[in-house]
Each structure stands twice: as structure tokens, then as C-alpha cells.
Structure 1
Amino acid sequence: MATMTVAPRRRFARLTAAAGLLVTVVALLLAPAAPASAHAVLSSSSPAASSVVPTAPSEVVLTFTEQVRKVPDRIRVIAPDGSRADRGEPTFTDTVVNIPVDPSAGNGTYLVTYRVISADSHPVSGAFTYSVGAPSEPPVDTDDGRADPVVSNAIKVGKFVGYAGLLLLIGPALVLALLWPRRLSRTGPARVAWVGLGLVAVATIAVTLLQVPYTNGGGPFDITGAGLSLVLGSTFGAAHLVRLGLLAAAVFLLRPLLAGSVGRTDLVILGVLGGATLLTWPLAGHPAASPAPAVSVVVDAVHLGAMAVWLGGLVMLAVFLLPRADERELGAILPIWSRWAALAVSALLLAGIVQALIEVATPTALVNTTYGRLVLAKVGLFALVIAVAAYSRQLVRKRVAASRPAPVRRAIWVELAVTAVVLAVSAVLVQTPPARTAATDVATETDYFTTTTQSSLYSMQIELSPARRGNNTVHFYAYTLDNRPLPVAEWKATVALPSAGIEAIDVPLLPLTDNHATGEINLPAAGEWQLRVTARTTEIDQATVTATVPIR
């Protein structure tokens, strides 16, 4: 009677998985097409930033380096009296955004603030002023225009959890399907696989929800129906929904696999579902917006899959096989695993090189951008892991594990510890603008200085570019000590170069938002300039911070 019920159940599982894969293909075909671009940068505007025009324009035109998408009510033009001068919805045409403006708003200085979404799902924000007739006291927009750091960090954590869940799912599934000794219980590895699947699902849902405030610039709980609809209507949202659908379809075939009753056809279907699921990660990030999207997506999926096979297999070895398998079983398993690990590491290395060449673009960007430095850190950690892995493979070849598995077990735990750090670096990488985009800014600005200093009242982020002799632009961002935007009532800044006998020079500042001010200053000589910033937050509370700025 039992044999009669197993076959229908298996057919039902296969039909369900096939239906899930069909839905995935249709969803990917119908998903919004993403342009081959990345982290957009404002290249020009009309009127130009800081310009004075004789008559009020009827529209403000923003031109970006790449195509961008709209964030509702995040493109604003503030009139000199503080009222909204923009009229109606801005129009998006390729890389150009047209903002209708009321030409009767009067003379004075206008503030333009914008927040848009680039093709790689990251928000891009900024602000500038222009004046009609003559400059006046600039207005202030209460919108900070920057992503909440709590949201940004929560997304990184969510992506790390998703990566961890992926290796905890793929490792047990692969080992149980092809290497697991029949005499050993499958309960422990099966539980690990279900935990891994749950972590991937929870992380996918969490990152999708957090994308709403990340897009809109709100806090972690600023999730609205309209914002969620905007995210789900993008390629980013479609890829995450597809991932959830594929996970649900895989459940029906994963259950018999973990129980030890899966057939060869089921394994093939599970492999196809797994490959399709891996593609959802690059489709939702930088690779889909690279100069060669087809290559980048495939290479990134291979990179992710090889990582999951390698690290997931290491978890199975360290936690289950080495402590439980006998000498004869380990003698059969470890050489096979060693070949698997060598193939996975080779795929990781090759895919990583190709992806780095695409995303970094130039040797200069490798050292002058955050993305490039993270890649170098990942390469260094990866080299350390390779060295440890080579040692453990040598132990396997000498059959140390057969008589004394402790050295192999220690080497594997070291591999896992270092690769956990690699996963964390990867989670930060996918939230960092690609070096090919950041390099454009470096080439434009020549150089860049940034630092964060603290007083008893606030934390001050200071940015100055190009950090060379001549005209420089400085930005100040004030935050509370728990990293929330802090309104500043009055700003004051000076620069001095004592070594050259240059006394303090006042920096004229323009408040752009309540916690953000900018200014222009001419620095006539190279050296270690002393920058002092005083921020008054109330009638009686103020504090001064200092920073040393190297000017070349």
C-alpha cells in the first residue's frame, strides 16, 4: 500500500517543482527590463548649480550619467520663501529628468533636492542651488536626502544571513544526496538544511521590506503600501519574489531528498531549481547593471554556487561526517570531497577574477575606491583560506583523517572561520557602489577626503574634494551620537595652515538641509590644513570639532 502512495506523491512533487520553474521563467520574462548601467551620477543641470539666471525658468532639468527611476515626492524645488516651487510630477526620459517649476515664485535662491533609484537598486541623492535675479538666503529642505544608517546596515546583515542560509541548505542537500553513509542518521543534516532554507526565505523577505525605506530614505519601520508596490514593481522586487517562489517549489522535492528516497529525475529538477534560484541574487544587484550584464549575471551565480558547495560541504564535514563516520567511510568520502572542493575553489577563483575585471574596470579604481579596497580585502582573505584548504587536502591525501581526524577537523574549522569573514565582506560589497562607477567620481574630483569626528553633542561627517590646492568643496553632516540626523541652528567653519603662517580663514557655508551644510573655499598651498567646525544646535548648546586635512 505504501508503494502505491509514494509514486503519486513523487509525481505531485515533480509537477509542483516544474510549475514553480515555469512561473519563474514567465516572471523573468515579464519583469521590468533593467538598463545596462549602475550607480547614476548627476552630470549636469539646467539651471547650473550655483548659477544666477536673469529670469525664472519654467522647468529644472537634471541629466544623469545613467537611466534612473522615480522615488515619489523625492524631487523638490524649494522657493526662496521656503514653499514648494515644483508643480506636478517630474518626467523621466532615459537619463534626463524634467521638473516643472512655477516661474512666478519670485527672485532669490532656490534649492533643488533629488533622490532617484539607479539601475542597481541603490538610491542616489543630492542637492544644489541656483538663483533668479540675485542670490538670497537659501531655503532649507527638511529631508536629509541620505539613507538611514540603521536601514543600510540592516540590509547588509540580511544579505549575510541569506548567504549563510544558502550554504547551510546546499551543503547538506548535496552531501545527503551523493556522499552520506546509509548507516548514519539523516536527522541532524536534514534539520540544518531546513534551517538554511528558512534563513534564505526570511532574509529575502526582510531585505525586500527594508528596500522600501532604503529607497524612500526613511527609518526601518517606514514601510508603506505605495513604497512596497514601487519595490515589487522593479527588477529587484521581481527577483526576490521569484526566489521565494522557487524556494516554495523546491520544498516538495527537498523533503524526500533529505529522507533518502529521492530519485535521479528529482535530483535533476532540484538542480535546475537551484540554478534558477542562484540567478536571482545577481539579477537583483550590481551584475544585472554591469556593462556586460549577461556575463556578469552568469559569473556571479557561478561564484555564489561554488561558495555554497564549498562552505556547505565544509560544515557537513566538520559537524557530522568527521565525528560520526568510521575509518572505512572517511576513506571513501574524503577523496571525493577533496575533488569537489578543488573544483569549487577553481570556479570561485575564475568567476571572481572575471567579475572583478568587469566591476573594478581600472587598476586605479582598485585602490582609490571603497569597492576596490573591499575586493582586495576579499582576495587576501581568500588566499588565506586557499592556504588552509591546501593543508587540509594534503592531510586527506596522507589519509591522516582515517586514523587521526583531529588535524583535518581543526583545518576545516579554520577555513569556516575565515570564510565567515569573507561572507561578511561580500555582504558589504553588494551594497557598495561598483568601482567602475566610483572611479568616474574619482576621475572627476581627482581626490577626496572624508572623516568623522565626535564632540560631546554630536558626530560630524566631513567631506572635502578634490583635496588639492585651489578651489575645494566641503560638506558637513551632523548626526546625534546614536547616528540620527541632528538639526543645526548655526554653522561656522574655519581653515588654517599654521606651518605656512596662514591664519584661520572663514569658510562661507550654505545650509542645504537641517543637518547638512556645504561651502566653497580656496586653499592656496599644500600641507596639513586645520579645519575647525562649530555647530550650534540650540540657543545655548554648541560644540567645536577639528580635523586635519592633507592638501596636495
Structure 2
Amino acid sequence: MAWTTWVTLMGFVGLAALALLVAGPAAARTVPGAIAAITSRLALVAVVVGVLAVPAVLTDLAHGASQSGGYDYSAAWNSLYDGSNDGRLSGLEVTFSLVGAALLAPLTLRTVAAGRARRWLLGAGLAAGTVALGSTRFPDKTPDNWGRTVFETLMWMLHLIGGGVWLGGLAGLVVIAALGAVPAAERGAFWSAAIRRFSVCAMSCVAAIALSGLFLYWEHVDGPTQLVTTMYGRVLGVKILIFGGLLVLGVFNQFWLHPRIDALRAAGDQRPLATVLLRRFPVVVAVEVLLGLAVLFVAPFLHGSARNQAYQADLAKHSASATVDAKQLPKLAPKTAGGSTWAWGTVETIAVIAVMAGGYRLSGRLAGRRAAAAAGVPAADPGDLVGA
């Protein structure tokens, strides 16, 4: 149930972001006539996902409200906006999911998708979806430490929005490829532009996920040994391994597949290899989507903290009582950030941003060289004044 909720909420954000920031601008540059078809298809899938988020959220609430382990939908519905902070947040989650779907619904019509309202509706729908997704991590009580709570919430927003835009965007690329929204003659030009634009979004999302993940790791884990000695750590380790697989496929796309597609475009996209690569790209992206769904399946199992689990296990081990109730065991106080913590965090931030920016520039140079070679134009040497 939690997996379905995350998939629908994050999927809606990713699909709306893809249509607004990647697919629409790429089509406007290369295949203006296909903007309506691409937007309407993405909007249709996003509307379905946004509507499905409502029963997913209500089912999760119904299971939690039931006293017998079943599903009390009446109690779940009554809990929305019941005056408590949890009720307000759940109400926002449901309301803004429906608002986002309603805003994107007109774009399922090609006449609307081709008009000026496209960007405004996509932007408003993306904002509504972001609020629905963010309400899952907004604080449910007045914090004692506003600064820490605000920073924590910001990290969670980076984590969730980054994951939504990246994984939902990948799913949207599969939708565009599978439904044939782009005419065959213009696919090479469209995918070349769309891939480069999506690369910027994907690398930004990876940076946001990595940086927020490092903070959450620092907050909940005391050293690598807890990744194998605690349940939280083992689940987190599985999540990290799947995320690593996603990164490997992303590197493959960025440094091998994308430059070759750019080269095919420059060569006129007439060789048989063009079909092979353009077919391989959706397959690789589909595998990335499956891995992303696996990450979202594992994430709900992350409960508590590795620090507290290790601490409580040690207390239980040395307890004189034969039976110990884990709920009654004390917990460690939250970590406090010192000067060294901020220093290391700054270094990590600079390093992650530098790696992402450097990787994007390097892959762009590789694509430029391959495109120049495919077009029969020698690549200019930056140190050659004549070539410059």
C-alpha cells in the first residue's frame, strides 16, 4: 500500500515535470507538430496516476484506522481535515492530488495541449503535485527546534522531488516511446534534444538525492557497520545497491548511448544502427524504471533509525529482565551538527555538484566529437586558433 502511494504521488510529479521541462521544449525545437500529441499522452497518464493516488492514500489510512487489521474507509475519510495536524496533512495529500489531476485533465485534448495554456496548466499541476508529495513529510506537530526541522524537511523535499522528477521522468520517456507520439522521420532529432534536456534534470535530481541521502545517513546511521548489524541498515543497504544500479545505467546512457544517438542525428539518421540505438534506449530506460520501482518498494521498510536499533539492542542484551519491550527502551538524542559536520557537508556538496557538472560537460564533448565525425567535419581543437 505504501509502495502504491509513493509510485502515484512521485509518478505524477515526474510526468508533469517531464512534459513541462523536457518533452515540450524538445518537441518545440525539433518537431513542433508533435507537441500536442506528446503533451496529451503524458497528461493522460499523469491524470490517471493522480486520480489513483487518492484511493491509494485512503487505503493506507483505512488500514491504519482499522482496529482489526482490516480497512476502515469510513474512519479514513473522516480523518481528513479532522482538526488534527495529521488530518490536515492527509487532507492536503488527497486534495492536491485531485487538484493536480484536474489541472492536467484539459491537456488530454490536443486542441488545448497545442495552445498557450499548456505551460500554465502543466506548471500549476506540477505545483499541486509537489504539495501533495511534500505533505507526506511536512512536520505533524509544532517543532521544538525550528531550524533543524526546517532543514530536515528541506532535505526530505529534495529527496522526494528529486526521486519523483527522475523516476517519473524515466517512466514518461517510456510512455512517449511506447505510444509513438513522435513521427518516425523526426524521432532521431527529437530524442537527441529530449535526452540532453532530460540529462540536465536527471543529474540535478541525482545530486539532490545524493546530498539529501548523505544527510539522512548521517542522521540515522553511526558508521558503516550498522548497515549490516541493524534492520534499518540492511534495508538501507539494499536501497543503496539498487540506487547504484540506477546510476550505472545512467552512466551508460550518458556516456555511451546518448553520444551515439547525437552522432546518428548528425549523420542523417539513415544507417541501420540508428534503429538499433533508438530501440535500445527505451529498453534501457524501462529497466531503469523497474529499478526505480524497486527502490520505492524497499523505502517503506525504513522505519526508525539504525542508531536507536543498535543502542536498544545493546541495552536489551545487557538487561537483567528475560523479556524486554522494545517500545519501552530509551532512544538516543538526535545528533547535533558541529563545525566539522558543516565542513564535511560543504565539501560533499561541492564534490557532488562538481562531479555532476563535469560529467554532463564531458558527455556533451563526447557527443559533439561523435556528431562531428559522423557528419564528416573534423572536431575543432580548443587550442587551435584557426579551428576556433
Bucket of the pairwise TM-score, normalised by the shorter protein: 0.5 to 0.7
**Structure with larger Rg:** 1
Q: Does 1:229 align with 2:96?
A: no
1:178 counterpart SS class: helix
- 1:241 matched to 2:94? The reply is yes
Which of 327, 332, 355 is the equivalent residue of 2:212? Answer: 355
Residue pair 2:62, 2:73 contacting (<8 A) in 1 also = yes
**Shift, 1:376, TM fit:** 1.3
Question: Are 1:411 and 2:260 counterparts?
Answer: no
Determine the structure 2 residue equivalent to 1:383.
Answer: 247
SS of the counterpart of 1:399? helix
Deviation at residue 349 of structure 1 after TM alignment:
1.3
Amino acid at match of 1:325: A
The percent of aligned pairs where both chains have the same amino acid is 13
Residue of structure 1 aligned with 2:26, choices 179, 182, 190: 179
Aligned match for 2:311, one of 416, 430, 443: 443
Instruction: State how far apart, in whole Å, the 2-side matches of 1:184 and 1:266 are.
Output: 14
Contact 2:62/2:72 (8 A) holds in 1: yes
Instruction: Report if the CA contact (8 A) 1:310-1:344 is conserved.
Output: no
Matched, 1:433 2:303: yes
CA distance in 2, matches of 1:440, 1:376: 20
SS in 1 for 2:133: helix
Contact 1:172 1:190 in 2 (8 A): no
The aligned residue for residue 395 of structure 1 is 260
Match status 1:206 vs 2:56: yes
Change (3 A) 1:301 1:189: closer
State the shift of 1:345 in Å: 2.0
Residue in 2 that maps onto 1:344: 201
- Provide, for residues 418-468 of structure 1, a one-character-per-residue CA deviation record: whole Å limited to 9, x for no partner: 32222232243145325xx24212223149xxxxxxxxxxxxxxxxx64xx
CA distance in 1, matches of 2:36, 2:168: 20
Structure 2 CA distance for partners of 1:411 and 1:261, relative to 1, 3 Å: closer
Q: 1:344 to 1:258 in 2, by over 3 A?
A: farther
Deviates more, 1:353-362 or 1:303-312: 303-312
Change (3 A) 1:222 1:257: same
- What is the one-letter code of the residue matched to 2:249? V
Q: Between Structure 1 and Structure 2, which shows a larger proportion of helix residues?
A: 2
Written as runs of structure 1 = structure 2, the 5 A alignment for 1:36-115 is: none
Q: Where does 1:490-529 land on structure 2 (aligned, <5 Å)?
A: none
Corresponding residue for residue 169 of structure 2: 309
Distance between the aligned counterparts of 2:118 and 2:101, measured in 1?
A: 15
Distance 2:139 2:281 in 1: 33
- Quick check: 1:295 aligned with 2:157? no
Which 5+ residue runs of structure 1 have no aligned equivalent?
1-153, 448-464, 476-511, 513-552
For 1:340 and 1:275, the matched residues in 2 are separated by: 20
Taking a change above 3 Å as real, the CA distance of residues 259 and 216 of structure 1, as seen in their structure-2 partners, is same
Deviations 1:186-216 (A, max 9, x none): 5586345313311221233322233122244
Q: Quick one: which amino acid aligns to residue 159 of structure 1? A: W
Q: Measure, in 1, the Cα distance between the counterparts of 2:42 and 2:105.
A: 17
Count of aligned positions: 297
How many angstroms apart in 2 are the aligned matches of 1:221 and 1:238?
Answer: 18
Distance 2:124 2:173 in 1: 20
- Higher strand proportion, which one? 1
* TM-score, with structure 2 as normaliser: 0.63
Give the secondary structure class of the aligned counterpart of 1:179: helix
Contact 2:9–2:129 (CA<8 Å) still a contact in 1? no
SS of the counterpart of 1:221? coil
Distance 1:176 1:412 in 2: 15
Letter in 1 for 2:208: A
Query: In structure 1, which of residues 330, 334, 339 is the aligned counterpart of residue 187 of structure 2?
Result: 330
1:149 aligns to what?
Answer: none
Contact 1:189-1:316 within 8 A present in 2 as well: no
Give distance in 2, aligned partners of 1:211 and 1:253.
Answer: 30
AA matched with 1:332: A
User: For the residues of structure 2 that align with 1:412 and 1:471, how far apart are their CA atoms?
Assistant: 59
Match of 1:280 in 2: 132
| Residue aligning to 2:69 | 219
CA drift of 1:248 comes to: 4.6
Contact 1:171/1:316 (8 A) holds in 2 = no
Q: CA distance change for structure 1 residues 444 and 376 in 2, over 3 Å: closer, same or farther?
A: same
Shift of 1:256: 5.5
Q: Which amino acid aligns with 1:402?
A: D
Counterpart AA for 2:161: A
The one-letter code of the counterpart of 2:309 is: D
1:271 aligned onto 2:123: yes
* Higher RCO (CA < 8 A, seq sep 6+): 2
User: Given the alignment of the two structures, is residue 422 of structure 1 paired with residue 292 of structure 2, yes or no?
Assistant: yes
Q: Deviations over 1:304-349 (max 9, x none)?
A: 2233234413431454257x331xx334323321221221221121
Change (3 A) 1:256 1:473: farther
RMSD: 3.7
Aligned to 1:104: none
Structure 1 distance, partners of 2:56, 2:197, is 33
Question: CA offset at residue 169 of structure 1?
Answer: 5.4
One-letter amino acid matched to 2:211: V
Q: What code does the residue aligned with 1:199 have?
A: V
Instruction: Describe the shift of the 1:382–1:232 C-alpha distance in structure 2 as closer, same or farther (beyond 3 A).
Output: farther
Q: 2:72 and 2:248 mapped to 1: Cα distance?
A: 42
CA distances 1:372-411 after superposition (whole Å, capped 9, x unpaired): 2243123222223213322221222321792322223213
